[in-house]
Amino acid sequence: MISNHEIDYKLHGEEMQCVEIELDPKETVIAESGSFMYMDNGIEMETIFGDGSQQTSGFLGKLMGAGKRLLVGESLFMTAFTHMGNGKATVTFAAPYAGKIVPMNLSNLGGKIICQKDAFLCAAKGVSVGIEFQRRLGTGLFGGEGFIMEKLEGDGMAFVHAGGYIIERELKTGESFRVDTGCIVAFTGSIDYDIQFVKGIKNAVFGGEGLFFAVLRGPGKVWLQSLPVSRLAGRILSYAQPGNRKGEGSILGGIGNMLDGDGY
C-alpha cells in the first residue's frame, strides 16, 4: 500500500477557480489530463497508466486501474507532477468551467468519497481513483449519474470541482432529504443513496424536473452544486436553436429576430 503524499494548497479565484499545490522534494500530485495550468521549474510531469495508487504494482494492477477509469468515462491515462528539485515548488490546476473547487481531506472523511464522474480534478499521489457500482438496479438505471460513479479512497488530499455555488450538508443517522440527481457533487461512503419516483403524473410530465429524485440518507456529509454542467449545456443548446432567441425579455425580441433573419 502506498502512503499518500502530504501536500499544501491554496485556492485562487471566485467563480473560475484554480488550485495551487505546493510540493516538497519528491512529492507528487496526480491530475486529470487537461487540468494543468502552470508549474515552477524543478517539477517534472509524467503520463501514467491508470491512477497514481497503482504505479508500484505489476502490469495487471495498472491495467485494472486504467480499466476502472475507462468505465467511468475518463481517460486511460493521468498525469503525475513530481518535484525533482530542492526547496518548495508549486503546480496549479484550473477548473474546467465556472464553479468551485472543493478540497477534501480523506483522512477526515472516513477515507472514502463517492462523486459524480467528471468531478475529480487532482489529488495527492496515493489516493485511489476508482469506480463505485450502485448496488440497486433502479439507482443505477435512473439515478442520473448512471450505474457507475467515481470513488476516491485514501487518507490524503483530493480536489473535486462543481458548477455554481456549493452547499455542504451534514446528515445525522436516519436523516434524509431529496435532491435533483444532477445536483449531487459528492458524498461520504457512509451515506445511503437511492432514487424515488416523482409522485403525481402532472408533476412527472409537466414539472420539468425529471421523473426521479435522489434520496440521500445519513449519517454522513453531502456536497451539492447549484448549476450542474449538463443543465448549463442544455440551456445553451436550447438558445442556440433557430427561433429560440427571446430578446432577453424585450417586447421587441420577436421583431429583432425578424429584422436579423432569425425569425425565418
pLDDT score of 70: 56
Residue 53 pLDDT > 50: yes
Q: What is the pLDDT of residues 208-238, one digit of tens each?
A: 445 678 889 999 999 999 988 777 777 777 7
Residue 87 pLDDT > 80: yes
pLDDT score of 20: 97
The grid coordinates of residue 27 equal: 512529492
pLDDT score of 188: 96
| Burial grade of 241 (CB within 10 A; 0-12, 13-18, 19 or more) | exposed
The grid coordinates of residue 154 equal: 485514501
Instruction: Kindly list the domain boundaries of the chain, sorted by start residue.
Output: 8-245
Three-state SS at 180: coil
Side chain identity at residue 253, one-letter code:
G
DSSP 202: H
- The predicted model gives 86-103 an average pLDDT of 92
Q: What is the pLDDT of residues 239-258, one digit of tens each?
A: 776 665 554 444 445 544 54
Given CATH 3.60.160.10, say whether it is the number of domain 8-245.
yes
Over pLDDT 70: what percentage of the chain? Answer: 67
Residue 187 pLDDT > 60: yes
